Amino acid sequence: MVARETGDREAVRLSRRTLLQRALSAAALGVLGIACQAPAPRAAPPSPSGAPAPPAGGPATAPTPSVALARRQSVKIAWTAITGAQSGVWMAYETGAWQELGLDVELVRLGSSTQMAASLRAGEIDGGVLDWALAFQFVAQGGNARQVAAITNRQPFSVISVPSITRPQEVVGKRWGITRIGSAIHTASLLALEQWGLRPEDVQFLALQEVPAILAAMQAGQIDVGVMSPPTNTRAIQAGFRELLDLAEAGPEFPSVAMAILDRHIEEQPDLVRAYVAGYSLGVARFRRDRERALEVLRKYLQLDDEAILVDTHARFSRYLAFPPRLPMASLPRVKESVVQEDPRVANVAISDVADPRFVEELEAMGFFANLL
């Protein structure tokens, strides 16, 4: 469903900067709540020796001993969109990867990267999936978290249109569905328009909150174009809509989302952050290696039973998810430059204030990733 109230339509005309400011203000007032909390798996008791418990499910992979925490710790982690890009997080949680390393994770659902940033500021969560462009603005506005592991270093989205639109220039003046201003979907939309030599004001953005709602709105004739991620883009193509651009294959090199964590953990508990990154990496490795378990996890979180679409989503994100999850340091200046155009304060933000690659680098030097696939 498209924006249903006048307030919704006004919101999509606001800048990413304004919406983030509003979200952070709400967090400061303590009015932002955590939504859609995922059920926590039953934790197995630790062994008598105090070693981490065995995995709750999935293939066993013995973690490097020095990665596992000496004592169990609890963190709250958020995921933000119904898309295969979140598969590594889901898989790490569902197969007990973080538990193996001594992290008891409470997994929660938030509706967007904007809410994610606000929840980090409020101390409601410890980390989770954060859009790169928003990460720069978050730090510029006094944010308290950094990106520590890459999820997708290209945009894993497709621009989908109604069949009557056959070339990019025909989107001018059309209704364009996104999730929210400031989301990864919004960033991908801006990149597509830029690649086609068009401007954001050439289309009418409509905020629909969720990726599946973009397809539903297109099917209802309420929008003409939208950016979708797997499996929704696959479903749209099967339904007869047109793929104008696959950003993951033909789009520009531009990082999409990464795993963020609070600065205080980076500064005070580097072992926790290392386990956080290692556990996520185990999730990605298991997603790529154990297709049957991965399909079960996708079926649960995507709430989808179409086997062909699930298989296609798994195949796509087995390629799209960065492994090892090295941060795209060389590409981040371009992300920063694009955000500065909207929010000049970002010009004063150092790349090191937004991204900390040392945890992946340390794990790589330890040989942690070498035998996971």
Same domain for 178 and 116: no
In three-state secondary structure terms, 84 is: helix
The residues with which 321 forms a beta bridge, in sequence order, are 152
pLDDT given at position 338: 85
Considering only CA atoms, which of 108, 248, 85 is closest in space to residue 120?
A: 108
For residues 168 and 249, the answer to whether their CB atoms sit within 8 Å is no
Across all residues in the chain, what is the average pLDDT? 85
Kindly state the average pLDDT of the residues 20-32: 47
Residue 113's Cβ-side half-sphere holds a number of Cα atoms within 13 Å equal to 29
Distances (CA, A) of 372 to 61, 176, 284, 359: 8, 41, 9, 17
Residue 45 lies in a domain: no
Round to whole Å and give the CA distance between 370 and 373: 8
Residue 189 shares a structural domain with residue 267: no
Answer yes or no: is pLDDT of 292 > 90: yes
Judgement on whether residues 204 and 324 belong to the same structural domain of the protein = no
SS3 of 159, please?
strand
**Mean pLDDT over residues 140-168, rounded?**
95
Burial 279-314, CB ≥16 within 10 A → b, else e: bbbbbbbbbbebeebbbbbbeebbebeeeebbbbbb
Q: Which pLDDT does position 1 carry in this prediction?
A: 41
Specify if 39 maps to a domain. no
Q: Give the per-residue pLDDT at 5.
A: 37
Residues 330 and 238 in one domain: no
Tokens linked to 219: 């099917």
pLDDT at site 251? 86
Contacts of 37 (CB under 8 A, 6+ apart): 106, 107, 108, 109
Same domain, 173 and 118: no
Domain count of the chain? 2
Report the pLDDT value the prediction gives residue 17, as an integer from 0 to 100. Answer: 55
Residue 69: CA atoms inside 13 Å, Cβ hemisphere, count? 26
Among 16-25, 147-156, 187-196, 322-331, the minimum mean pLDDT is found in 16-25
- Please write the tens of the pLDDT for every residue from 74-115: 999 999 988 899 999 999 999 999 999 999 999 999 988 788
Picking from 250, 279, 311, the residue at the C-terminal end of a domain is 250
Domain boundary among 184, 217, 250: 250
Q: Say if residue 24's pLDDT is above 90.
A: no
Element holding 361 (H helix, E strand): helix 358-365
- The pLDDT tens digits of the residues spanning 208-253 come to 989 999 999 999 999 999 999 888 999 999 999 999 999 988 888 8
- Domain span at residue 176 reads 6-15+155-250
Instruction: Return the pLDDT at 53.
Output: 39
Same structural domain, 78 and 121: yes
Q: In this predicted model, what pLDDT tens digit does every residue of 32-84 receive, in sequence order?
A: 344 444 433 333 333 323 333 344 444 445 555 589 999 999 999 999 988 89
Q: Is residue 92 part of a domain?
A: yes
Claim to verify: residue 69 and residue 93 sit in the same structural domain: yes
pLDDT at 18: 54
Domain assignment present for 49: no
**Can you give the pLDDT at residue 111?**
82
The pLDDT of 165-183, averaged and rounded, is 93
Residues 333 and 265 in one domain: yes
| Residue finishing a domain among 224, 250, 276 | 250
The answer to whether residues 124 and 94 touch, using CB atoms and an 8 Å cutoff, is no
Confidence band (pLDDT; 50, 70, 90) for 15?
Answer: low
Both 161 and 210 in one domain: the answer is: yes
Overall average pLDDT of the 111-123 stretch:
88
CATH (domain of 360)? 3.40.190.10
pLDDT at 16: 52
